[in-house]
């Protein structure tokens, strides 16, 4: 495994395992499979409803806690200082651990400044090792970075071959925030796994389209958290550190960038309404 050093000196695996849309029952098995396949970073969230399952897996896996990197996220309805503080303590209990490695604000809605203050407090108390944000567009990120005490270590945003976030990446670099991808496979949309460019490059390196897509992001200085419920796919996804894409490969994939979300826009009021109603 390769690691990136965050802006506060904490080391984070460049490739982790995401548990979005996994039920509690399925999640525990999947996290145990992922850890046995070599994953050491696990990404969950309050809104996923599976923090307990991640906690169970942490306790059962046999890997020392200090070798694992656990991320969770504060949901919109837990926004604001008091509610966020309570929810963070609840996440800590559910994860059955003495500390959380990384905590993110999940969406840029509600009183996220209050939420961030609660996270800063936990960070200073030492039971959250790094804090950051998720789904913050460059304007929101610049605003937050300009007025908080502890600079966000991470911004986790939709990033894949069709939405490469090059402009957002430049602002993250400018403010010392590590770019992390959610949805590195675009959840299979736009015939992702049969994409001819990815498959052609894959043949050249004896790798799958998925492995090429992950390698592209890693070489673009983006942390990735691919998800699969199948252990053989987990093993395939983590096996991306033994080859490198050359300049022609990288340029061919850069040309696939459509610079638009395949999922949603936070600028769409209907999306904002939908997210705020979710619990």
Q: Measured between alpha carbons, how far is 220 from 208 in angstroms, rounded to an integer?
A: 18
pTM above 0.85, yes or no: yes
- 106 has binding-site annotation: yes
Q: What is the pLDDT of residue 203?
A: 98
Q: Measured between alpha carbons, how far is 4 from 41 in angstroms, rounded to an integer?
A: 12
Return the number of other C-beta atoms located less than 10 Å from residue 160's C-beta.
Answer: 26
Convert the pLDDT of each residue in 111-122 to its tens digit: 999 999 999 999
Q: Which residues have a Cβ under 8 Å from the Cβ of 58 and sit 6 or more positions away?
A: 31, 42, 65, 68, 70, 95, 96, 97
Nearest Cα to Cα of residue 4 among 144, 128, 118, 172: 172
Q: What is the pLDDT of residue 89?
A: 98
The maximal CA–CA distance of the chain, rounded, in angstroms, is: 54
Return the SS3 of 258: coil
Residues marked as catalytic: 48
The stretches in the chain having pLDDT less than 70 are: 279
Convert the pLDDT of each residue in 150-163 to its tens digit: 999 999 999 999 99
Q: Measured between alpha carbons, how far is 193 from 203 in angstroms, rounded to an integer?
A: 13
Q: What CATH class does 3-277 carry?
A: alpha beta
* DSSP bridge partners of 232: none
Return the SS3 of 252: helix
Q: What is the pLDDT of residue 279?
A: 67
Q: In a 10 Å sphere around its CB, with 0-12 CB exposed, 13-18 middle and 19+ buried, how is residue 276 labelled?
A: middle
């Amino acid at each position: 495994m390769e690691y990136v050093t965050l802006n506060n000196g904490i080391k984070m695996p460049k490739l982790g395992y995401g548990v979005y849309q996994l039920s509690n029952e399925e999640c525990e098995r999947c996290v145990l499979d992922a850890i046995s396949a070599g994953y050491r970073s696990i990404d969950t969230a309050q809104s996923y409803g599976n923090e307990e399952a991640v906690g169970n897996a942490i306790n059962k896996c046999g890997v020392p806690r200090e070798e694992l990197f656990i991320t969770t996220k504060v949901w919109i309805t837990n926004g604001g200082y008091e509610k966020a503080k309570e929810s963070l303590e609840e996440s800590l209990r559910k994860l059955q651990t003495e500390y959380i490695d990384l905590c993110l604000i999940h969406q840029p809605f509600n009183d996220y400044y209050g939420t961030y203050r609660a996270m800063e407090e936990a960070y200073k108390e030492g039971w959250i090792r790094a804090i950051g944000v998720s789904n913050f567009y460059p304007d929101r990120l610049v605003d937050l970075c300009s007025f908080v005490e502890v600079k966000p270590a991470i911004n986790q945003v939709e990033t894949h071959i069709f939405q490469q976030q090059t402009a957002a990446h430049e602002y993250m670099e400018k403010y010392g925030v590590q770019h992390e991808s959610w949805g590195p496979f675009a959840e299979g949309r736009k015939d992702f796994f049969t994409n001819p460019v990815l498959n052609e490059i894959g043949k050249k390196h004896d790798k799958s389209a998925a492995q090429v897509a992950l390698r592209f992001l890693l070489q673009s200085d983006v942390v990735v958290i691919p998800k699969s419920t199948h252990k053989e796919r987990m093993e395939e996804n983590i096996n991306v550190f033994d080859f490198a894409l050359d300049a022609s490969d990288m340029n061919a994939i850069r040309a696939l960038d459509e610079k638009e979300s395949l999922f949603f826009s936070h600028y769409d009021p209907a999306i904002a309404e939908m997210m705020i109603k979710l619990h």
